[in-house]
Amino acid sequence: MDNETISICVMTAADTEAVAAMEESIFNEPWKLRDFEELLDKPDRGCIVAKAGNEIAGCVVFHNIAGDVDITNVQVKVEYRGRGIGKHLMTEAMEKARAAGGERFTLEVRESNLAAISLYESLGFAAEGKRKDFYRNPREDAIVMWKY
Ligand SMILES: CC(C)(COP(=O)(O)OP(=O)(O)OC[C@H]1O[C@@H](n2cnc3c(N)ncnc32)[C@H](O)[C@@H]1OP(=O)(O)O)[C@@H](O)C(=O)NCCC(=O)NCCS
C-alpha cells in the first residue's frame, strides 16, 4: 500500500456511492448518498476525492458562501491515514474554492478530535470560538476554526 499512487480529483457521479459508503463507515451521523449527489455541478460547492487506484481513500467537501468557505466534511479511510492525504485533500479543496471566489475558510471540529485539529492548525487554521453541544452521538462542543 505504501507505494500506491494516490490521485486527487473532483468527485464525479461515478464516485458518489463509494464516497457515501466511506462516510457511513467513519461517522456516527453520516451524510447520505443524496447529500453527495447534490454537490455535483453546483458552482458554490465542491467535493475533492483521493483515490488509490479505483478505490476512494478520502474526501473534503466545501461550500462557498459569499467568499466564506465552509469546509463541511473531511475524512480519510483508516487504512490510508498518516500519509499526508488529508492535508493534500484540504490544500486542493482550498485551491478550488479560492479559484471560485473563496476568500476565507472556516470549519467546526469536535474538541476531542486532536488529529483533525492538528491537521487544520498545520494548514494555518486557528480556533476562534466554541459552539456548545454542537455535536450529538456523543454530545460534544465544537471548536470553530478560521483561516484568513
Ligand atoms: C483527520 C483526518 C482527516 C486526517 O487525515 P490524514 O490523511 O491521516 O492526515 P495527514 O496524514 O494528511 O496529516 C497531516 C497533519 O495532520 C496532523 N495529524 C494527522 N493525524 C494525526 C494524529 N493521529 N495525531 C496528531 N496529528 C495528526 C499532523 O499535523 C499531520 O502532519 P504531520 O504528518 O507532518 O505530522 C483523519 O484522521 C480522519 O479521517 N479522521 C476521521 C474523520 C474526522 O475526524 N474528520 C474530521 C472531522 S472535523
Q: Which residues pair with 44 in a beta bridge?
A: none
- Which of 24, 62, 76 for a ligand 1 pocket mutation test, highest count of atoms within 8 Å of Cβ? 76
Does residue 118 line the site of ligand 1, with CB under 6 A? Answer: yes
121 is catalytic: no
Does residue 85 line the site of ligand 1, with CB under 6 A? Answer: yes
Mean pLDDT for the stretch of residues 52-68: 97
- Which of 108, 121, 128, 135 is an active site residue? 108
**Which cell numbers in the block locate residue 146?**
478560521
Q: pLDDT value at position 3?
A: 56
Q: pLDDT value at position 4?
A: 79
Cβ–Cβ under 8 Å, residues 77 and 83: no
Q: pLDDT value at position 41?
A: 83
**Which amino acid is present at 138?**
P
C-alpha span between 89 and 49 (Å, rounded): 7
Does residue 27 line the site of ligand 1, with CB under 6 A? Answer: no
Mean pLDDT computed over every residue of the chain: 96
Q: pLDDT tens-digit profile of 76-104?
A: 999 999 999 999 999 999 999 999 999 99
Tell me the pairing of strands 6-10 and 45-52: antiparallel
Does residue 75 line the site of ligand 1, with CB under 6 A? Answer: yes
Q: Is the pLDDT of residue 8 over 80?
A: yes
Judge if the upstream peptide bond of residue 43 is cis by omega within 30 degrees of 0: no
Q: pLDDT tens-digit profile of 104-134?
A: 999 999 999 999 999 999 999 999 999 999 9
**Domain 6-147 classification at class level:** alpha beta
**Which cell numbers in the block locate residue 135?**
455535536
Cβ–Cβ under 8 Å, residues 9 and 48: yes
80 is catalytic: no
- Atom index in ligand 1 nearest the CA of residue 90 equals 12
Q: Ligand 1 centre from 42 Cα, in Å?
A: 28
Whole-model pTM: value is 0.96
Q: Is the pLDDT of residue 141 over 60?
A: yes
Q: 3-state class of 93 per DSSP? A: helix
Q: 3-state class of 139 per DSSP? A: coil
Nearest Cα to 86, choosing from 75, 73, 72? 75
Q: Is the pLDDT of residue 2 over 70?
A: no
